[in-house]
Structure 1
Amino acid sequence: MPGFLKEFFNRNGTLMGSIMLGLVLFWVVGLIILPQLSMLDFSFRPNLPPPEIGGPKDVYTLENYKYLIYGPEGGSQDYNAVDLKVFFRTLVAAVCVTVFNLLFCYPIAYYLGQSKGNHIRIFALMLIIPYWINEILRAFALRIIFGESGVLNTILVGSGIFDTPFDFIRNDIALYAGLGYAYILLMIFPMYNVIESLDGNQIEAARDLGAPWWRIHWRVVIPYAKPGISSGCTMVFMLSAGALAAPQILGGPSSLWFTQLIYQQFNDNSDWPQGAAYAIVLLVTCILLVLAVMRLFKVNMGDIGK
């Protein structure tokens, strides 16, 4: 038995450890691995009516993946410009949301991690309370705020900053703000959890040596907080790329998200194999991008798991 399992069973007992391990295995295998394998199998199947499923025409094919690149046979273009544009725009937007959240949340996480006193608990509770509300309701609330007759436009027009209401919805500002707000806690708390354990004497020593504030963060705090930063960026990027509620509610007519294409394939077109292929492409691409960035910044899975 591996050493970490022995330690786990010694700490929790054989019975309780077995129950906990069984629940985790059920969650991982039954609710993650098996559904993904089923989705992968679907992605290589043709879209057939129910009576023909399992028949001679039900063979493995790459047509669903080719459709993303080349589009329908006999189309007017050599490649599927619409879907590819939506795919890459979704990835770029997810990166932008991740970078924005990192820049916005890092000072908050640093303040929470290095400050002492009961007011920190109150501040953390104020961050958490809005997330007691359902994500869809929060998205509709943001749509009311960013709408042409919403609270923000009322303030901007009333104060004379804008002559006419600005369309935050059609310009995707509401969408980016909604995605950033939806996952802000997933960026703050992993960084806070690491920065809280940073010895303040290291920061004081850097100050005594004459290091400016930006060098202290760049050479002391950020390298120490790398596990939290890696974990937060990974979760925010993956969830932003796979978001559906926020793009549906806050996105404008020109801000189609790739997950919306997947939803259309499953529900509107009843083309489950095509939707499964699109979902697998998005999942694999996001995983590869995360692994490439981890390698670029010399971060390993152990850092993220801390």
Structure 2
Amino acid sequence: MRKLGQVVIKQFGVFGSILILGTVGYWVVFMIVLPQLIMLDYSFRPFLPLRKMGGPEDIYTLKNYIVLFTNEFHRAIFIKTIWASVIVTVSALFVCYPISFYLAKVAKGARFSLVLLGLIVPYWINELLRIFAWQLILADTGIFNQLLLSINLVADPINFRAGNGAVIMGMVYAYILFMVFPLYNAMESLDRNQIDAARDLGASWPRIHKRIVIPHAKPGIAVGCIMTFMLAAGSIAAPQLLGSPSSFWFTQVIYTNFETANWNQGAAYSMVLAGLCLVFIFSMMKIFKVNLRDIAK
């Protein structure tokens, strides 16, 4: 820490260092730590009318957390959200892996710029507008259904929004950059000579990816999976706009609690979701055998 402070002072001077470190410290304390502590405090307190707050009934309790395990509807939504978020993460990995490899080791010059622009330009538009666009694409009279009807693959329009399909597709698209760039960053540092040497020795492309590319890209895979899962599990716009009553998301349950002024229950559910994300982070680190230093790269 002292060494880091000396580097910052040397780079930006005393005044600049105080400004930078003060801004970062303010952001961490007042925008991250303090709100989380307040949320944690709310989660252990019962939902009471304003006149009873601070009274003898206002005690710390686990009741708000126990509700999740006793309410079958909320428990089912919570499990469904975890499973659907895993599907979103795995789907994004399968979609983004070849794109990242192409950008890192195949595309050069104009092709690299064209693919990169194709990925980035749509994100100049607000996320809500992009999700609304998916509403139009997946509608009964949307592009997908019109294409399927025109080639006679289906007799009637498919209701893509009946289950979780539309939500998963929308999320994979919405968070594609959060998977592509960590993978690209990891693959870009791989020495191309290793791949060429393996090809010269007769290794197939699946074997090259299994033995060379994927082991080297493990930190990028871990970061991409962590970011995509956390964004999917915490999303509310995509389930709200692309989902149906049967595709209710756990974040919608949390939002409903806050909207009905039951902040205590909403805070407890938020803490459970945050705890789940932490478990997922450490699980990815364990599975891919990486540490925080590897991820930071």
What is the TM-score when the length of structure 2 is the normalising length?
Answer: 0.96
CA drift at 1:243: 0.5
Partners of 2:6 and 2:202 in 1: CA distance: 48
- Work out whether 1:275 is the aligned partner of 2:269: no
SS in 2 for 1:13: helix
Q: Is the 8 A contact 1:175 1:247 kept in 2?
A: yes
Q: Separation in 1 of the partners of 2:186 and 2:74?
A: 40
Q: Which one-letter code corresponds to 1:229 in the other structure?
A: I
Looking at secondary structure, tell me which structure has more helix per residue. Answer: 2
Work out whether 1:107 is the aligned partner of 2:98.
yes
Q: Which whole-Å deviations, capped at 9, do the CAs of 1:245-268 have from their partners, x for residues lacking one?
A: 00000012201100000011110x
Cα 1:176–1:66 change in 2 (3 A) is same
SS of residue in 1 equivalent to 2:247: coil
Question: 1:1-306 to 2 correspondence within 5 Å?
Answer: 2-70=2-70, 80-114=71-105, 115-267=107-259, 269-306=260-297
Distance 1:163 1:40, change over 3 A: same
- Partners of 1:289 and 1:246 lie apart in 2 by 21
C-alpha distance in structure 2 between counterparts of 1:220 and 1:24, whole Å? 38
Report the CA distance between 1:58 and its aligned residue: 1.4
8 Å CA contact 1:230, 1:303 repeated in 2 = no
TM-superposed deviation, 1:57: 1.8
Cα drift, residue 277 of structure 1: 0.4
Distance 1:210 1:17, change over 3 A: farther
Query: C-alpha displacement at 1:290, in angstroms?
Result: 2.2
Question: Partners in 2 of 1:5 and 1:87 — Cα distance?
Answer: 43
Where do 5+ consecutive residues of structure 1 fail to align?
A: 71-79
Partner amino acid for 1:4?
Answer: L
Distance 1:121 1:16, change over 3 A: farther
Deviations 1:143-202 (A, max 9, x none): 111011212111111221110000101132211100101100000011112212221111
For each residue in 1:261-304, what CA deviation from the matched residue of structure 2 results, as whole angstroms up to 9, or x when unmatched?
0011110x321000000110111022112212321321211121
Deviation at 1:119, TM superposition (A): 2.5
Normalising by the residue count of structure 1, what TM-score does the alignment of the two structures yield? 0.93
**Which amino acid letter does the alignment assign opposite residue 11 of structure 1?**
Q
**In the alignment, residue 212 of structure 1 is paired with which amino acid?**
S
Query: In the aligned structure 1, how far is the partner of 2:63 from the partner of 2:181?
Result: 43
For structure 2, the residue ranges without an aligned partner over 5 or more in a row are none
- Asked if 2 retains the 8 angstrom alpha-carbon contact of 1:46 and 1:58, the reply is yes
* TM-aligned CA deviation for residue 68 of structure 1: 1.0
4+ residue segments displaced more than 4 Å: none
Shift of 1:93: 0.6
Q: Deviations over 1:88-127 (max 9, x none)?
A: 1100111110011011101101111113213312221121
**1:41 CA drift (Å):** 0.3
Partners of 2:24 and 2:196 lie apart in 1 by: 43
How far, CA to CA, are the matches of 2:27 and 2:211 in structure 1? 40
In the other structure, the counterpart of 1:76 is: none
Are the equivalent residues in 1 in contact too, given 2:226–2:280 (CA < 8 A)? Answer: no
The total of aligned residue pairs comes to 296
Q: Which moved more, 1:223-232 or 1:176-185?
A: 223-232
Inter-partner Cα distance in structure 2 for 1:194 and 1:292:
20
Please give the alpha-carbon distance, in whole angstroms, between the structure 2 residues aligned to 1:215 and 1:225.
15
Residues in 1 aligned to 2:224 and 2:5: alpha-carbon distance in whole angstroms: 27
Greater displacement, 286-295 / 13-22: 13-22
What is the CA–CA distance in structure 2 between the aligned matches of 1:13 and 1:119, rounded to whole Å?
A: 42
Shift of 1:206: 1.3
